[in-house]
Amino acid sequence: MKGKGKRLLIALAMTALIFAGSATAYAWFTYQRRLTTITKINAPTALIIGAGQKESSQNIDIGEINVEDEAGKKDFVFSVYSDESVSNYKLQIAHTTNIDFTYTVFPAQEQQVSGDVEYVDEDGTAHYYSKSGSAASGKYLNLGSDGKKADDSLHKESYDSYKKVQENAEPLYWQSDEIQPENNSGQGFVDYYILEISWNDDVRNDKETDMVYLTAGIV
């Protein structure tokens, strides 16, 4: 697929931000660093978000999504891990709403042969992950009455005093309930997740772009 498809740009906490566009249009990424303001959770000091195999989050490549794919969804694996003992934590997804995508997070486990997601590590070895349970429970913090776009309740935290914001550029914030780390023995842990991005038949291929910001924080 060349020059077609919906494009998602993803950024993750504690990594370099990967995005394109004017600083004004996407200024809310700067303000997203104030996690305690938005999420009411502690800034993560020992918690890291990565790709599969605990590799750099820069390896999470969403890129363009072909919404003509009959599957109606696309899955991406990511990890939350620490080399230290960590109490409960929360996940947060912030995203713009130019494209009518649905974002769902599932716990995942690594498989030996095949799975929902294939991840090729930096050495070229394929690893497989499958959803291991129901979707992570949580809620949107600023969902408007239409059930699709954000209201203005977190506008100041996103854009400070800047007012001229197109409605689809107002980010929605989804936050999970508290999550207890798996196999948290006191010497570190790794939890794997699959981010499922799905769409309905009304979504068509064009050159629109959305931005997704994924964070995790200790509570």
Q: Where are the domains of the chain?
A: 1-41, 48-218
**Percent residues over pLDDT 90 in the chain:** 35
Beta strands 172-176 and 126-131 are: unpaired
pLDDT digits (tens, 9 = 90+) for 185-218: 677 899 999 999 998 888 877 767 888 888 888 8
Count of other CB atoms within 10 angstroms of residue 130: 17
pLDDT value at position 88?
87
Contacts of 147 (CB under 8 A, 6+ apart): none
pLDDT digits (tens, 9 = 90+) for 147-156: 999 999 988 8
Spatial distance between the Cα atoms of 78 and 59, rounded to a whole number of angstroms: 9
Q: Give the pLDDT band of residue 127 (cuts 50, 70, 90).
A: very high
pLDDT digits (tens, 9 = 90+) for 49-92: 889 999 888 788 777 788 888 788 989 999 999 888 888 888 98
Terminal CA-CA length for the chain: 42
**CB of 176 closer than 8 Å to CB of 104:** no
Spatial distance between the Cα atoms of 72 and 202, rounded to a whole number of angstroms: 11
